Amino acid sequence: MTRTFFIYDNFEIYSLATSNWKKDTHRHDFFELLYIVAGSGTHILNDNHHNYQARDIYFLTPRDIHSFKTKTPTKFHCLRFLPGFFQDSQEITILENIFNYHNQAQGRLMLPLEQAKFCESLIQQIVKESVQAKNNNLIIIRHLMAAMLEIIKRSVTIDGHHRMAQTLKIDRILQYIRSNIAFPQLLKKQEIAKRFNISEHYLYEYFKKHLHTTPQEFIIETRLHVIQEKLRQSSLSFTEISHELGFKDSSHFNKFVKQHTGKSPSKLRVALTADRKNQG
């Protein structure tokens, strides 16, 4: 594994080449432009799985949560910006709003070919300027970064109104599911479809197209996440947890956990507690 850091005022450039690397789920307090130079693997961004490959570009905001796992030898560059990098505070809000919607469903930047190539050349030039450390390279790097951000922002928002409307609807549906995870009767397909004035078939296709999963799979994943957090963070009994999450009884709760994790609730709690201690 080869790492390279170049640290400046309010931003840094981080390059990594590795054949086997896994980064657990985390959130940054800065903006990050991630450029995949070579390789392939999985990038999980806001619970959505993306198979990354060479020349992919992601732009992450402090709102985003992601993890990273290589499949083949991978090299990438990270250009990280602290809020102080932007002279205009409104720029921070604009970028956060644009990419909050974009990253919930889209993932990598879908730039036109010509603009993608131009952004790649800008990234490569920024890294080159950092390595060479010539006179006035800091000024040049800032101008190159500013130009690239404007290109990315313009490209993402060309048809942004349509994408934003679609993502807003996704956000509302997902929030509805999370808010009612303890009420199974409200999470039936017909209930969700009725709530958002769409057909059950359209609901299914909508999830498959935008989230690459089904409504039922998302509900199961959300319920499992809540269960795991309660097992890890609280001393609630299995009966109490099953009651809080709307299971008919503890036996249905036990069956659900065993079916979807391969462990009984007691064994799952032991495993989660052990992981928590190791991370601590």
State the pLDDT at residue 88. 73
Dihedrals φ, ψ of 104, to 5°? -70, -30
pLDDT at residue 107 in the model = 79
pLDDT on residue 161? 46
Q: CB of 12 within 8 A of CB of 75?
A: no
At residue 243, the pLDDT reads: 93
Note whether 253 and 245 are within 8 A (CB). yes
DSSP-derived letter for residue 67 is: E
DSSP code at position 45: E
Q: What is the pTM (predicted TM-score) of this model?
A: 0.56
Q: Quick one: pLDDT at residue 217?
A: 94
pLDDT at residue 101 in the model: 60
38: Cβ–Cβ under 8 A, 6 or more apart, which residues? Answer: 54, 73, 74, 75
Supply the pLDDT for residue 41: 93
CA–CA gap between residue 97 and residue 177 (Å, rounded) = 23
Closest CA to 107 of 42, 202, 30: 42
Q: What is the predicted pLDDT for the residue at 278?
A: 62
All structural domains of the chain:
2-158 (2.60.120.10), 162-279 (1.10.10.60)
Chunked in runs of 10, what are the mean pLDDT values of the chain (280 residues)? 84 90 84 94 87 92 88 94 77 75 73 89 92 82 88 69 56 87 93 86 84 91 92 89 93 95 93 70
